[in-house]
Amino acid sequence: MILDILEYPDPRLRTIAKPVGDLTDADLTLIDDMFETMYDAPGIGLAATQVNVHKQIIVMDLSDDESEPRVFINPQVEVLDGEREVMQEGCLSVPGFYEDVERIEHCIIRAIGRDGKPFEIEAQGLLAVCIQHEMDHLNGKLFVDYLSNLKRTRIRKKLEKLHKQSA
Ligand code: QAP
Ligand code: CO
């Protein structure tokens, strides 16, 4: 099932997600629906916050052909060195806007997979950037929060106008 994606400046995007306990059938259905929603968009990453479910669940697929689905439940990040990298980011909750954001370039991610088992991966480049972007969602944070007040206000006003027009 394709889920509705909340769009900035919806205040529900500011909700802090709770850790997931034992994985239930409802959680597995949510994960499948999140993939369907992300692939339909199309996007490369989606956090449960964006579909108004406030649990620590992220889905991601950085491949061109939907061949590398990744699930991160209760993710934790460990910074590996002080290197930072700037990348242009977008967000399904901020449609049509892309801006440079500086992130940690190299990290270790510890999380639980769809099978309920803990795993650990070392991440660099787009994977590292994407996981940090999605983990921000779980903490109620958006990439526009890193921009100047002027840029963020412009984006907010343009999206508010679009939302009024489609209402
Ligand atoms: C997060 O974002 C990300 O504006 C995932 O009109 C993006 O999947 C992390 C999308 C870039 C790092 C680099 C955005 C789709 C998809 C839009 C997405 C749009 C349609 C964004
Ligand atoms: Co996003």
Q: Which two tokens stand for residue 111?
A: 């999380």
Asked, for residue 3, whether it belongs to a domain, the answer is no
Neighbours of ion ligand 2 (CB under 5 A): 91
Asked, for residue 71, whether it belongs to a domain, the answer is yes
Asked, for residue 137, whether it belongs to a domain, the answer is yes
Ligand 1 site, residue 79, Cβ cutoff 6 A: no
Q: Which two tokens stand for residue 8?
A: 């900035």
Residues 114-134 pLDDT 10s? 999 999 999 999 999 999 999
Residues 52-111 pLDDT 10s? 999 999 999 999 999 999 999 999 999 998 899 999 999 999 999 999 999 999 999 999
- Does 106 show up as a binding residue in the annotation? no
Containing structural domain, residue 24: 11-166
What's the CATH code of the domain at 128?
Answer: 3.90.45.10
Ligand 1 site, residue 133, Cβ cutoff 6 A: yes
Asked, for residue 63, whether it belongs to a domain, the answer is yes
Residues 5-62 pLDDT 10s? 999 999 999 999 999 999 999 999 999 999 999 999 999 999 999 999 999 999 999 9
Active site residue 89: no
Q: Which two tokens stand for residue 59?
A: 């889905």
Number of domains in the chain: 1
Q: Is the pLDDT of residue 167 over 90?
A: no
Residue 155 makes CB contacts below 8 A (sequence gap 6+) with: 8, 94, 97, 144, 147
pLDDT at residue 81, rounded to an integer: 86
Give the residue, by CA position, lying nearest to ligand 1 atom 5.
Answer: 45
State the pLDDT confidence band at 158, using cuts at 50, 70 and 90: very high
Which ligand is in closest contact with the Cα of 45?
Answer: 1
Average pLDDT of the chain to the nearest whole number: 98
Contact (Cβ atoms closer than 8 angstroms) between residue 163 and residue 105: no
pLDDT at residue 27, rounded to an integer: 98
Q: What are phi and psi for residue 85, nearest 5 degrees? A: -140, 145
Which ligand is in closest contact with the Cα of 8?
Answer: 2
Ligand 1 site, residue 45, Cβ cutoff 6 A: yes
Asked, for residue 82, whether it belongs to a domain, the answer is yes
